[in-house]
């Protein structure tokens, strides 16, 4: 009984055989087009004790033409004390993919202020894959010396694709004043630095601003003395692509006035000094630094008086323009100097094999016109159909 049935299946029209064999093929086809995707993100922040930190991470991956995934994370923090000193940080990330791809993004920032009038800010951003992006910012600001000293430092950056961005900024200012019955003194210091570095799709900016000042006067009644001093710095550094930049500075000023109630003399002494520097490397980077320091003192007893003052104001700035495209092979142009961009120069472009430029095309059209005229003349001439073409 089984044999005829089996024979009928074999001997039957091939449509059934094709249909039976097609069933497993359809199952395999579904497995071949399977897709999977994964995404995850997290963010967290802390704040307190004069500081704050924020971090965020995102990851996305896809396997298969129809895969799609995205993840976003963010965090922010704020810290503030009774004196109004503040620290802020923020971080955000995104990772997105379509098809067979992987993207990651990470952002970490922190900022804090201290009791000595110092402020610090940091940021670190990294990304991979076309769909990875990150942003981060951190800043701190403080006021001290009864409002006579302020300091602020901040960093802010982004990264996209395959890239990274790091930034650091620090600033501090102090002023000390002294006085007694016969003298007065004032000393001011402003210092700071910022450094940024980037790769690929990264960009970062760092800034520092410090300003401090103070004044004092003698407390005695026999003669008088007064002194004042101030110092400030402004720093900036910017980097994008593959590059780095930095700036730093320190400004100092000091003043003192004194009277001698025994010798009946007066004296005044001051000094102001400072150094700033800026450095950059890579197209699209820049840095600047400037400082100011002032000092003044005076003293007098009887008819004797003395006075002195000093001031310095150094400044420096460096920058490199963004990179420009370079044309094809040419006979001129070259590479710019250190930190510069290349010049384009001039030259003839190389055409693909068999191609003609506009000059060749014009020459060909002229040749065809002359050849047609010659052919017409030969057809109607009595000299055997000979036409002399002009030499090129």
Closest CA to 252 of 296, 177, 190, 209: 190
**Residue 337 has which token pair?**
């100097």
Structure tokens at 4: 């005829």
Give the separation between CA 140 and CA 88, rounded to whole angstroms.
6
For residue 303, the cross-strand partners are: none
What does each C-alpha distance from 323 to 194, 314, 336, 346 come to in angstroms? 24, 30, 11, 18
Question: What distance in Å separates the CA atoms of residue 129 and residue 113, rounded to the nearest whole number?
Answer: 36
Confidence at residue 66, expressed as pLDDT on a 0 to 100 scale = 83
H-helix or E-strand spanning residue 368: helix 358-380
C-alpha distances (whole Å) from 37 to each of 31, 41, 66, 68, 339 are 15, 14, 9, 6, 43
What's residue 330's pLDDT? Answer: 33
Separation CA 233–CA 190 (nearest Å):
6
Tokens of 58: 């995102």
Q: Please name which of 56, 158, 63 lies closest in space to residue 102, comparing C-alpha atoms.
A: 63
DSSP state of 81: -
Per-residue pLDDT at 389:
43
Distance from C-alpha of 294 to C-alpha of 5, rounded to nearest angstrom:
112
Q: Is 190 helix (H, G, I), strand (E, B) or coil?
A: strand
C-alpha 317, offset from chain centre: 17
The DSSP symbol for 343 reads B
Residue 180 dihedral angles phi and psi, to the nearest 5°: -150, -160
Contact yes or no for 125/202 (Cβ under 8 A): yes
Token readout for 56 is 């965020």
- Are 317 and 288 in contact by the 8 Å Cβ rule? The answer is yes
For position 158, what pLDDT does the model report?
98
Q: What is the pLDDT of residue 323?
A: 84
For residue 371, give every residue at least 6 positions away whose Cβ sits within 8 Å of its Cβ, in sequence order, or none: 389
**Nearest residue to 108 via CA among 155, 69, 48:** 155
Task: Return d(Cα 91, Cα 24) in angstroms, integer.
Answer: 51
- Tokens (6 digits) for 248: 């730093």
pLDDT at 376: 54
Instruction: Please compute, for residue 156, the number of CA atoms within 13 A of its CA located in the half-sphere on the CB side.
Output: 8
pLDDT of residue 206: 98
Tell me the C-alpha distance between 205 and 203, whole Å: 7
pLDDT of residue 373: 56
CA–CA separation, 136 and 139 (whole Å): 11
Residue whose entry in the numeric block shows the structure tokens 């097609």: 22
Can you tell me the distance from the alpha carbon of 342 to that of 101, in angstroms, rounded to the nearest whole number?
35
How far apart CA 125 and CA 136 sit, in angstroms, is 7
Q: How far, rounded to the nearest angstrom, does the alpha carbon of residue 122 sit from its chain's CA centroid? A: 13
Residue whose tokens read 């002294």: 178
Q: Where are the domains of the chain?
A: 44-319
Tens digit of each residue's pLDDT, the chain (392 residues)? 444 434 343 333 343 343 333 344 444 444 455 789 999 999 999 999 999 999 999 999 999 888 899 999 999 999 999 999 999 999 999 999 999 999 999 999 999 999 888 999 999 999 999 999 999 999 999 999 888 999 999 999 999 999 999 999 999 999 999 999 999 999 999 999 999 999 999 999 999 999 999 999 999 999 999 999 999 999 999 999 999 999 999 999 999 999 999 999 999 999 999 999 999 999 999 999 999 999 999 999 999 999 999 999 999 999 999 987 533 333 333 323 333 222 222 222 333 333 334 444 444 444 445 445 554 554 454 444 444 444 44
* Residue among 79, 199, 196, 74 at smallest CA distance from 135: 74
Write the CB contacts of 189 (distance below 8 Å, at least 6 apart in sequence).
Answer: 172, 173, 174, 175, 212, 231, 250, 251, 252
């Amino acid at each position: 009984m089984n044999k005829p049935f089996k024979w009928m299946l074999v001997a039957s029209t091939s449509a059934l055989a094709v249909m039976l064999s097609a069933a497993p093929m359809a199952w395999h086809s579904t497995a071949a087009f399977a897709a999977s995707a994964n995404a995850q993100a997290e963010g967290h922040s802390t704040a307190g004790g004069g500081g704050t930190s924020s971090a965020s991470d995102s990851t996305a991956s896809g396997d298969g033409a129809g895969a799609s995934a995205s993840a976003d994370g963010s965090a922010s923090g704020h810290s503030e004390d009774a004196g109004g000193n503040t620290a802020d940080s923020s971080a955000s990330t995104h990772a997105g993919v379509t098809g067979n791809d992987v993207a990651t993004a990470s952002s970490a920032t922190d900022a804090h202020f201290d009791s000595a009038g110092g402020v610090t800010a940091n940021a670190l951003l990294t990304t991979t894959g076309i769909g990875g992006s990150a942003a981060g910012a951190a800043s701190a600001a403080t006021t001290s010396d009864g409002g006579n000293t302020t300091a602020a430092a901040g960093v802010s950056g982004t990264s996209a694709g395959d890239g990274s961005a790091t930034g650091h900024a620090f600033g501090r200012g102090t002023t000390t004043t002294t006085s007694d019955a016969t003298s007065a003194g004032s000393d001011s210091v402003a210092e700071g630095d910022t450094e940024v570095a980037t790769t690929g799709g990264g960009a970062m900016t760092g800034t520092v601003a410090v300003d401090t000042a103070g004044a004092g006067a003698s407390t005695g009644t026999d003669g008088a003395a007064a002194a004042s001093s101030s110092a400030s710095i402004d720093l900036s550094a910017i980097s994008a692509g593959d590059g780095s930049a930095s700036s730093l500075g320190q400004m100092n000023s000091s003043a003192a006035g004194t009277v001698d109630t025994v010798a009946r003399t007066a004296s005044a002494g001051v000094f102001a000094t400072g150094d700033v520097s800026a450095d950059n490397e890579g197209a699209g980077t820049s840095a600047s630094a400037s400082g100011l320091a002032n000092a003044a003192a005076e003293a007098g007893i009887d008819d004797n008086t003395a006075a002195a003052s000093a001031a310095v104001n150094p400044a420096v700035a460096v920058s490199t323009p963004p990179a420009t495209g370079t044309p094809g092979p040419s006979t001129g142009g070259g590479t710019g100097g250190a930190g510069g961009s290349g010049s384009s120069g001039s030259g003839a472009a190389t055409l693909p094999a068999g191609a003609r430029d506009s000059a060749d095309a014009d020459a060909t059209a002229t040749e065809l016109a002359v050849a047609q005229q010659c052919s017409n003349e030969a057809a109607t001439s009595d000299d055997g159909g000979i036409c002399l073409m002009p030499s090129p």
